[in-house]
């Protein structure tokens, strides 16, 4: 456990080539040490010029289980942690509203 945690913290602190960073909202936090982050981006349609929103959901590693639904977080690419997890949560941008 401690080696994985130290490896994750070392990756966040040291630069390691180009790794994508994206901002998204936590939409699911039921799993242990994993959150699902939804990143929404908009791009201009080539033919009509209309802006089209696209949505992508990524599973991200959350070592301390501190992020909740509605939180806005930044995720960063990482080497595969499990079958579907390829991102880690690097920081909290804005806390979500608790109901």
d(CA 90, CA 33): 13
- Residue spans of the domains in the chain: they are 2-94
Q: What is the pLDDT of residues 10-29, one digit of tens each?
A: 555 667 789 999 999 999 99
Q: What is the pLDDT of residues 64-89, one digit of tens each?
A: 999 999 999 999 999 999 999 999 99
> Mean pLDDT for the chain?
89
Here the tokens at position 14 are 């040291």
Instruction: Measure CA 77 to chain center.
Output: 8
Q: pTM of the entire structure?
A: 0.79
State in words which class domain 2-94 has: mainly beta
Answer yes or no: are the C-beta atoms of 16 and 76 closer than 8 Å. no
User: What percent of the chain is predicted at pLDDT more than 90?
Assistant: 79
């Amino acid at each position: 456990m401690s080696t994985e945690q130290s490896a994750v913290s070392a990756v966040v602190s040291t630069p390691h080539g180009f790794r994508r960073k994206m901002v998204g909202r936590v939409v699911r936090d039921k799993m242990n040490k994993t959150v699902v982050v939804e990143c929404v981006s908009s791009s201009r349609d080539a033919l009509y010029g209309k802006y089209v929103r696209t949505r992508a959901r990524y599973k991200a590693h959350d070592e301390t289980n501190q992020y909740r639904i509605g939180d806005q977080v930044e995720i960063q690419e990482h080497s595969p942690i499990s079958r579907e997890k390829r991102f880690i949560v690097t920081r909290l941008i804005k806390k979500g509203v608790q109901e």
